[in-house]
Amino acid sequence: MMVQKDRTLIRFTRELALLRYGDTAVEQAVKTGRTDPEIIPRFIVIEGPDGAGGSTQARLLERYLQSVGLACECSTEPGDGRIGRHIRTLLQDRKNSEQGVAYAPEAKAQFRAEWGKLAQYFAADRAEHIWGMDGILAKTQAGMYCISERYLFSSLVYQGLSGLSDLNLMDLDDSGGSDGEAGTSISEIWELNRDFPLPQHFFYLDIAADLAEQRIARRETEEQTKREIFEQEGFLAQVRQAYLAVLEHFGRIAPGMEIHHLDANQSREVLQGQILQRLGQS
């Protein structure tokens, strides 16, 4: 199993590197004169592996900015629109299958077809999130601060890893497993997301996999919830390494975006103080 995990991360890092050094979006941008990704002022993204406390910090930041008189709104991906709701249904169906819920063959086939379009659905939902009539771009142009819990970085990490590992569709494969190749590749995910503008601030909350496991287990007990499909034991360590590769990638191609790599092993109060300090609000 460890060999499979190592191979998955190696392939993830290699594909991500090809986005920089191959004949890809970056080189095409240089050829067409578009060398710097668009940055949206007052747009803040908070991400990290499950268990890092991203949801908590996003809400704390929203409340703080509002308390000092700044117009601010927090959102998440997938959103609450039609496409976002469809994504959540797919994720819930996947979760149900892992918990032993039986599906008819027709429903199982339909799910497999829809799951294969997950990256496209996330991109469509993101377009609505950014460019919709009441989207991030319109709100920030009106002077509002917009905080998003997750953005395109999550797509690269989670969808990229699930497409390269045996996580993808393994429970819904009638043959008893997945060949590891059925998912959407990193390059395909990048093509779907390359034209989205970037936030002014990207906060990555870094957490040790074992501590993230403990927090998720505690949440399961306290809230009587079951783990999401990307919160399974062992997968969190891969997620952390993939995020670090993504940070390096955007550090190279997007110098206008401020990347803040923070230690989420600390208390929520200490972490909140560091976020406010980076934003010049302390």
Per-residue pLDDT, 205? 97
Least confident segment among 17-21, 59-63, 255-259: 17-21
The token pair that represents 48 in the structure block? 């990290």
CA dist., res. 49 & res. 42, Å (int): 23
Whether 200 contacts 42, CB under 8 Å: yes
Per-residue pLDDT for 170 more than 50?
no
Per-residue pLDDT, 239? 87
Per-residue pLDDT, 251? 92
- Comparison of pLDDT for 155 and 232, the residue scoring more: 155
Give the tens place of pLDDT for each residue, 61-115: 999 999 999 999 999 999 998 899 988 888 777 666 655 555 566 666 666 667 6
CA dist., res. 272 & res. 59, Å (int): 10
Per-residue pLDDT for 143 more than 90?
yes
CA 25 to mean position of chain CA atoms: 20
Map tokens 């997750």 to a residue: 150
pLDDT average, residue stretch 183-196:
82
Q: Strand order in 258-263's β-sheet?
A: 72-76, 145-149, 39-47, 198-206, 258-263
All domains of the chain in start order, with CATH: 2-77+140-278 (3.40.50.300)
What pLDDT band is residue 273 in, cutting at 50, 70 and 90? very high
CA dist., res. 150 & res. 158, Å (int): 11
Q: SS3 letters for 178-194?
A: CCCCCCCCHHHHHHHHC
Q: Is 95 exposed, middle or buried (0-12, 13-18, 19+ CB in 10 A)?
A: middle
Per-residue pLDDT, 274? 97
- Comparison of pLDDT for 187 and 259, the residue scoring more: 259
- The secondary element (H helix, E strand) that includes residue 39 is strand 39-47
What pLDDT band is residue 218 in, cutting at 50, 70 and 90? confident
Per-residue pLDDT for 209 more than 50?
yes
Least confident segment among 1-15, 38-52, 189-203: 1-15
Please report, in angstroms and rounded to a whole number, the separation of the first and last CA atoms in the chain. Answer: 45
Q: Give the number of residues written for the chain.
A: 282
In the three-class reduction of DSSP (H, G, I as helix; E, B as strand; rest coil), residue 70 is classed as: coil
Map tokens 């590992």 to a residue: 165
Per-residue pLDDT for 221 more than 50?
yes
Query: Taking CA 134 as the corner, what is the angle to CA 158 and CA 228, rounded to the nearest 5 degrees?
Result: 25
Least confident segment among 14-18, 26-30, 47-51: 26-30
Could you tell me the maximum CA-CA distance found in the chain, to the nearest angstrom? 58
- Comparison of pLDDT for 77 and 173, the residue scoring more: 77
CA dist., res. 254 & res. 270, Å (int): 28
Share of the chain above pLDDT 70, in %: 66
pLDDT average, residue stretch 56-63:
97
What pLDDT band is residue 137 in, cutting at 50, 70 and 90? very high
CA 70 to mean position of chain CA atoms: 26
pLDDT average, residue stretch 158-163:
77
The pTM (predicted TM-score) of the whole model is 0.79
Between the alpha carbon of residue 184 and those of residues 28, 99, 159, 161, 252, the distances in Å are 21, 24, 7, 9, 24
Per-residue pLDDT for 128 more than 60?
yes
- The secondary element (H helix, E strand) that includes residue 130 is helix 118-131
- The secondary element (H helix, E strand) that includes residue 29 is helix 25-32
Per-residue pLDDT, 183? 55
Q: If you average pLDDT over every residue of the chain, what do you get?
A: 78
Per-residue pLDDT for 149 more than 90?
yes
CA dist., res. 24 & res. 152, Å (int): 18
Per-residue pLDDT, 26? 41
